[in-house]
């Protein structure tokens, strides 16, 4: 019985791959960058466009689909006959893309039968030295942008995987599953992906995010995240008569940034080490503003960095008599690993599904966050993140392998089936 789903997937392999690729290209072609400066959620028209496309597609498939006024799409697949009492499994993916690189006009390129060498784009080249994981997919189909924008595989590969899995389950009623919920969220990249989420719909669900990562990755820890907002107040004076009087807020902000330890920056850290990230700075002589991200897996390290920020702010004030620095901290999300020991089946079943689909499980910590971090904190339960294959995210060299997206679909199918047997001996 353990080969039951394997046999079905093998028979449908080419059709499944074709459907995943078609969907992904359709979603990726819609520019849906978030706008963190826009207080409205969804913060961009492109997100609404993609949400409406998904809503219409899911309705055509025969799924129960509802797009609410807050920009959250809830899609429901009823349980197989006899599995109505099985716990609902919920999968989350976000429709927005990051602001780190251009992304409003996206032209996906399909590279069939990748030869293991440089991937030539319209603008630039992706080298295997830059992303050694490419060599895992020699002979496979690779999808990139044309090099002038990000691709949007973060997280449209997740969207394509979930919708393709639901489509597959509809087409194969012989694969037993309990109720399945798909939630497409807006503005994950701006940190507001759960601001309008209706938690009443997901209470009691086994929740998973499908959000980027190398094939086989399963993530149960993420950064703690705090945002520091600093306002530097100067004293404007005509530069011709400024001696001893002018206090330049721009210079104050620049001095503050120079005090941040370079050894604790994103470009100087990896693995378990956190960082300071000056994200945006703007202003004038009279007032300058700085947005600063603090990240670490250990919250005591976040607190240490908060103390350091306050100390640097005082040092700047001391260097610019008459100037002032205001500092405000906002906790954006906590490490979802705090809840890993609760409701262990959520993680254990994911491990089985990923291992069955990929032949391996790569346990990693997310050097960032997902909507799952906020959901985990709200529900006080683990919300693991499952790979989708997206690599070099947030850059114009972003890419995804078709085989990785296929494995993500297989993982979803197997995971929903595993939950039909509480003793963990179901058909997988």
pLDDT in tens, 276-320: 999 999 999 999 999 999 999 999 999 999 999 999 999 999 999
The verdict on domain 224-333 having CATH code 3.30.70.360 is yes
pLDDT tens for 29-66 read 999 999 989 999 999 999 999 999 999 999 999 999 99
Domain ranges, ordered by start, for the chain: 4-222+335-418, 224-333
Q: Which residues are known to be catalytic?
A: 96, 188
Q: What is the CATH number of domain 4-222+335-418?
A: 3.40.630.10
Q: Which of 281, 227, 228, 288 is closest to 252 using CA atoms? A: 288
3-state secondary structure of 422: coil
pLDDT tens for 380-415 read 999 999 999 999 999 999 999 999 999 999 999 999
Q: pTM of the prediction?
A: 0.92
Same fold, 4-222+335-418 and 224-333: no
pLDDT tens for 239-264 read 999 999 999 999 999 999 999 999 99
- Which residue, chain included where needed, has tokens 């409205």? 40
Distance CA 404, CA 384 (A): 18
Name the DSSP letter for residue 244.
T
Q: Read off the pLDDT band of 426 (50, 70, 90).
A: very low
pLDDT tens for 55-110 read 999 999 999 999 999 999 999 999 999 999 999 999 999 999 999 999 999 999 99
Q: Read off the pLDDT band of 212 (50, 70, 90).
A: confident
In angstroms, what CA-CA distances link 253 with 234, 312, 344? Answer: 10, 11, 46
């Amino acid at each position: 019985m353990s080969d039951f789903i394997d046999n079905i997937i093998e028979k449908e392999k080419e059709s499944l791959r074709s459907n995943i690729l078609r969907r992904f290209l359709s979603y990726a072609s819609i520019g849906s960058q978030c706008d963190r400066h826009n207080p409205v959620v969804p913060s961009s028209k492109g997100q609404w466009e993609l949400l409406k496309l998904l809503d219409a597609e899911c309705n055509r498939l025969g799924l129960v689909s509802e797009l609410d006024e807050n920009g959250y799409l809830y899609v429901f697949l009823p349980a197989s006959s006899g599995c109505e009492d099985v716990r609902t499994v919920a999968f989350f993916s976000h429709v927005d893309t990051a602001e780190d690189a251009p992304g409003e006009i996206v032209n996906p390129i399909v590279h069939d039968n990748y030869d293991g060498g440089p991937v030539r784009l319209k603008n630039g080249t992706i080298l295997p030295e830059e992303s050694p994981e490419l060599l895992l997919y020699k002979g496979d189909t690779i999808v990139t942008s044309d090099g002038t924008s990000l691709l949007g595989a973060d997280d449209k590969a997740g969207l394509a995987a979930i919708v393709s899995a639901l489509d597959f389950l509809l087409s194969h009623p012989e694969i037993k599953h309990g109720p399945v919920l798909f939630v497409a969220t807006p503005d994950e990249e701006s940190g507001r992906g759960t601001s309008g989420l209706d938690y009443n719909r997901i209470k009691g669900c086994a929740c998973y995010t499908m959000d980027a990562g190398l094939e086989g990755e399963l993530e149960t820890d993420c950064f703690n995240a705090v945002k520091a907002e600093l306002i530097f107040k100067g004293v404007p004076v005509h530069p011709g008569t400024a001696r001893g009087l002018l206090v330049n807020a721009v210079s104050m902000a620049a001095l503050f940034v120079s005090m941040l330890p370079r050894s604790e920056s994103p470009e100087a850290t990896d693995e378990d080490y956190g960082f300071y990230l000056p994200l945006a700075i703007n202003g004038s002589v009279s007032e300058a503003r700085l947005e600063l991200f603090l990240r670490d897996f250990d919250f005591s390290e976040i607190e240490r960095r908060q103390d350091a920020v306050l100390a640097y702010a005082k040092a700047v004030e001391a260097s610019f008599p008459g100037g002032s620095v205001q500092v405000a901290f906002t906790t954006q999300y906590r490490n979802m690993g705090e809840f890993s020991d609760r409701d262990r089946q959520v993680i254990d079943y994911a491990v089985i599904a990923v291992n069955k689909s990929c032949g391996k499980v790569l346990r990693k910590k997310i050097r960032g966050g997902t909507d799952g971090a906020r959901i985990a904190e709200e529900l006080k339960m683990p919300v693991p993140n499952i790979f989708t294959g997206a690599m070099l995210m947030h850059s114009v060299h972003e890419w995804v392998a078709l085989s990785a997206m296929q494995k993500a679909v297989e993982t979803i199918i197997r995971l929903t089936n595993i939950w039909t047997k509480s003793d963990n001996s179901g058909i997988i």
